[in-house]
Chains A and B, each alone.
Chain A
């Protein structure tokens, strides 16, 4: 699994955000930026977003749909959902460990 993640290069974190955004349904680029900002507070810039989209698409974790005018929506694939399911518990562990350790500092 670590190897799998490293293949996503410097876009590994945006990748998780994109997968999580598409987990609620297909979205085009700008809709992803807005959704990700809303649920994570991270504002992805288009260069980073499309770097990650390219990698996720090549891995088969997301797939492009028919473009509507110039906006092309992307959809989460079954393997993308499986990859997200695999990565989220690790992130949760990081978050809960961090919170626990912070509590120890405060007390």
Chain B
């Protein structure tokens, strides 16, 4: 049985906000093992993630930017990618207005070490600028996760 669609669907769960993932991710993963994963399933997960991102119930207790501006509260620092708190990760690296944990750094390294997308015309002019623009705002942060979650699994096909 081809596990790729299931793995891709699991990857898409990373688009959901951390509070949603804490509560529902394991359950949904179990459902995705039984449920036939089709294109509509993947599109539906993306729509669900966008919906959850706008749902006040899944917002972090403090806003992403306001939290990082409050540098006095370093104990509240959490990874801007996966949402884990400082005490839940081995290392948390601070950047300008963002944090990243050791697991997410590892994931980024995997993504960067993987094969390039076939439709990339010139890695030099796209990757450089996209990496620069991808720091800071929640929107670019989401786009970044999306890029790392989606294309990688597609490359493996």
Q: Does A26 reach chain B (CB closer than 8 Å)?
A: no
Contact call B40/A45, Cβ cutoff below 8 A: yes
A-B CB proximity, top 4 nearest: A47-B48, A45-B44, A47-B44, A70-B30
Contact call B51/A29, Cβ cutoff below 8 A: no
Contact call A46/B32, Cβ cutoff below 8 A: yes
Known: A45-B41, A46-B41, A50-B24. A30 touches B48 (CB 8 A): no
Total interface residues in chain B, CB < 8 Å: 25
Q: From A10, A49, A58, A71, give the contact of B51 (CB < 8 A).
A: A10
List B contacts of A69 (CB < 8 A): 30
Other A-B pairs beyond A9-B51, A33-B31, A46-B48, 11, CB < 8 Å: A28-B30, A29-B31, A45-B45, A47-B44, A48-B44, A48-B47, A49-B31, A50-B24, A51-B48, A54-B55, A70-B27
Q: From A28, A45, A54, give the contact of B20 (CB < 8 A).
A: A54
Whole-angstrom distance between the Cβ of B29 and the nearest chain A Cβ? 7
List B contacts of A50 (CB < 8 A): 24, 27-28, 31, 48
Show 7 residue pairs from A and B whose CB-CB distance is below 8 angstroms, ordered by the A residue: A29-B27, A45-B45, A46-B45, A47-B48, A49-B31, A69-B30, A70-B30
List B contacts of A48 (CB < 8 A): 44, 47-48
Number of A-B contacts (CB under 8 A): 66
Whole-angstrom distance between the Cβ of B60 and the nearest chain A Cβ? 16
Residue in A closest to B45 when the chains form the complex, CB atoms: A47
Convert A15-33 into 0s and 1s, putting 1 for each residue whose CB lies closer than 8 angstroms to a CB of B.
0000000000000111001
Q: From A33, A51, A67, give the contact of B52 (CB < 8 A).
A: A51
Q: Does B26 reach chain A (CB closer than 8 Å)?
A: yes
Whole-angstrom distance between the Cβ of A13 and the nearest chain B Cβ? 14
Convert A62-85 into 0s and 1s, putting 1 for each residue whose CB lies closer than 8 angstroms to a CB of B.
000001011110000000000000
List A contacts of B125 (CB < 8 A): none
List A contacts of B44 (CB < 8 A): 45-48
Whole-angstrom distance between the Cβ of B102 and the nearest chain A Cβ? 26
Whole-angstrom distance between the Cβ of B106 and the nearest chain A Cβ? 24
Known: A47-B46, A47-B48. A58 touches B57 (CB 8 A): yes
